């Protein structure tokens, strides 16, 4: 393992992307092989990042929810294929058939048909905007004050597609499964995570609420190069804007509310790749279930498991997940067959931490997907849907909550110029077909699907859980 080259690449990544601080941890042969902090967790006071600096990890949390669900499944307390409504009678969405058929399996693999329903956006953007000039409301008056109240209010959620038809990222689905876990286990989800995962793995700096992160002495601030975010505090550390998270994020804990360290995440990776006697208290069949393609991205061979993106480099399975919140970008990637993994935590949200994780993994064990990040990824492309005559049907402008996206053909490929999402920057997607109406981004492997109405006309496309409506 060429540590000098790894550190050189980390420093270069920080310079190119103007990153305040990064925490990195690497697993090799199912042991922690390297850990180090780079830059500052507190730019103003020049406090350095360490491997034990606490960060919100955002959506990396989802695999913890999947582990918990599979633990209950092994105990015969949860049938993943049983409709959620059978367990939670107050669960429903706007479509009656979907209300009766959506189950934990569909939610864990983001195939419920709901996508981002808007409930999470309202939860954190309206009631919990932490601007210091806008005081926090009293807890009892907060929107969706409990996980149960969120589930009770999903009756307004509209389908983006039929259940099981397409992949569409859905945090509300993970929040629902989180509530189901606490109902079936008869303990609060916070306590379930702590007692059944954190304690077993000796994850001593892993927390289920943002206040614990805020109160840690060795914790990161959250930074941005922009001061127009609704999460901007009005405070700057040198040229970085300081952002803040929701005062309370417990309703969406199971979707993205855990805070932890690079060190603790490596401990978690080790047990995720331990198929003999994992301290996650799961049999190998359940660990494989989490890490297998449960929702295929067309005929690409890639897809989503439970809480992990699942991809292949030739015959080598790679599991990974990103996390993003205002002021934070996180990434966890593993090759279970080689017992190796990388954790990258970055305290700035306009950065793709997954790019650095891939670079480090390449240096650790040789190129995984490609030699250069500018090279296209290699997955199965369905060429029978790639002619310009077929692609022409998807062209046009589509409306999104943040603006207008335009779908065009460029160099024989479908391209989408997509506006910024809340924690992202404007992006250009270069797509290749993987089945009828299903595409993947050639450079990051993300899924984009086009949805038709009953008469076969394209009405919208799905990207990142959001629905882009054709104008």
Q: What is the pLDDT along the chain (471 residues), one digit of tens a residue?
A: 899 999 999 999 999 999 999 999 999 999 999 999 999 999 999 999 999 999 999 999 999 999 999 999 999 999 999 999 999 999 999 999 999 999 999 999 999 999 999 898 888 765 444 444 444 444 444 678 899 999 999 999 999 999 999 999 999 999 999 999 999 999 999 999 999 999 999 999 999 999 999 999 999 999 999 887 788 899 999 999 999 998 789 999 999 999 999 999 999 999 999 999 999 999 999 999 999 999 999 999 999 999 999 999 999 999 999 999 999 999 999 999 999 999 999 999 889 999 999 999 999 999 999 999 999 999 999 999 999 999 999 999 999 877 889 999 999 999 998 775 554 556 789 999 999 999 999 999 999 999 999 999 999 999 999 999 999
CATH 2.40.128.50 placement within the chain: 383-470
Query: CA nearest 360: which of 320, 303, 307?
Result: 320
Domain at 1-376: CATH code: 3.40.710.10
Phi, psi of 30 (to 5 degrees): 60, 35
CATH 3.40.710.10 placement within the chain: 1-376
Separation CA 432–CA 299 (nearest Å) = 12
103 HSE (CA, 13 A, CB side): 11
Query: CA nearest 103: which of 90, 121, 87, 115?
Result: 87
What is the strand order of the sheet 222-224 is part of? 222-224, 240-243, 232-237
Whether this prediction's pTM lies above 0.85 is answered by yes
- Tokens 């930074």 sit at which residue? 223
Give the three-class secondary structure for 227.
coil
Q: In this structure, which CATH number among 2.70.70.10, 3.10.129.10, 2.40.128.50, 3.90.850.10 belongs to the domain 383-470?
A: 2.40.128.50
The partner residues of 103 in beta bridges, in order of sequence, read 83
Separation CA 158–CA 174 (nearest Å) = 16
């Amino acid at each position: 393992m060429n540590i000098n080259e790894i550190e050189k690449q980390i420093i270069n990544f920080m310079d190119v992307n103007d990153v305040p601080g990064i925490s990195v941890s690497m697993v090799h042969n199912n042991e922690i092989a390297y850990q180090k902090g780079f830059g500052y967790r507190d730019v103003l006071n020049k406090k350095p990042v360490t491997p034990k600096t606490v960060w919100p990890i955002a959506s990396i949390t989802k695999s913890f929810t999947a582990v918990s669900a599979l633990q209950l499944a092994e105990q015969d307390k949860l049938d993943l294929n049983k409709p959620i409504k059978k367990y939670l009678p107050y669960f429903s969405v706007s479509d009656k058939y979907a209300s009766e058929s959506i189950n934990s399996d569909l939610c864990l693999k983001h195939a419920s048909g709901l996508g981002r329903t808007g409930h999470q956006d309202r939860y954190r953007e309206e009631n919990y905007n932490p601007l210091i000039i806008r005081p926090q409301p009293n807890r009892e008056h907060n929107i969706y004050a409990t996980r149960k109240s969120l589930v009770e209010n999903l009756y307004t959620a509209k389908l983006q597609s039929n259940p099981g038809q397409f992949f569409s990222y859905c945090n509300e689905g993970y929040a629902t499964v989180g509530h189901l876990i606490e109902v079936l286990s008869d303990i609060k989800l916070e306590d379930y995570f702590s007692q059944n995962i954190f304690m077993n793995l000796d994850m001593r700096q892993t927390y289920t609420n943002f206040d614990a992160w805020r109160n840690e002495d060795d914790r990161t601030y959250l930074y941005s190069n922009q001061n127009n975010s609704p999460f901007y505090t009005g405070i700057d550390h040198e040229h970085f804007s300081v952002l803040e998270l929701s005062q309370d994020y417990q309703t969406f804990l199971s979707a993205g509310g855990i805070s932890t360290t690079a060190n603790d995440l490596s401990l978690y990776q080790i047990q995720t790749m331990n198929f003999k006697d994992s301290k996650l208290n799961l049999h190998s069949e359940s660990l494989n279930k989490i890490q297998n393609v449960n929702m295929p991205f067309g005929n690409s061979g890639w897809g989503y498991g439970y809480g992990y993106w699942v991809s292949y480099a030739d015959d080598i399975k790679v599991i990974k997940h990103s996390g993003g919140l205002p002021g934070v970008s996180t990434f966890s990637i593993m090759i279970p067959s080689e017992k190796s993994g990388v954790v990258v935590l970055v305290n700035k949200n306009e950065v793709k931490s997954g790019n650095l994780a891939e670079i480090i993994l390449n240096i650790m064990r040789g190129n995984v997907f490609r030699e250069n990040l500018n090279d296209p990824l290699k997955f199965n492309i369905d060429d029978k849907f790639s002619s310009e005559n077929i692609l022409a049907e998807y062209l046009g402008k589509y409306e999104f909550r943040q603006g207008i996206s335009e779908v065009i053909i460029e160099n024989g490929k479908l391209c989408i110029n997509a506006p910024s999402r809340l924690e992202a920057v404007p992006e250009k997607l270069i797509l290749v077909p993987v089945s009828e109406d299903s595409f993947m981004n050639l450079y990051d492997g993300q899924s984009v699907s086009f949805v038709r109405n009953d008469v076969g006309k394209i009405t919208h496309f799905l990207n990142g859980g959001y629905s882009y409506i054709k104008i």
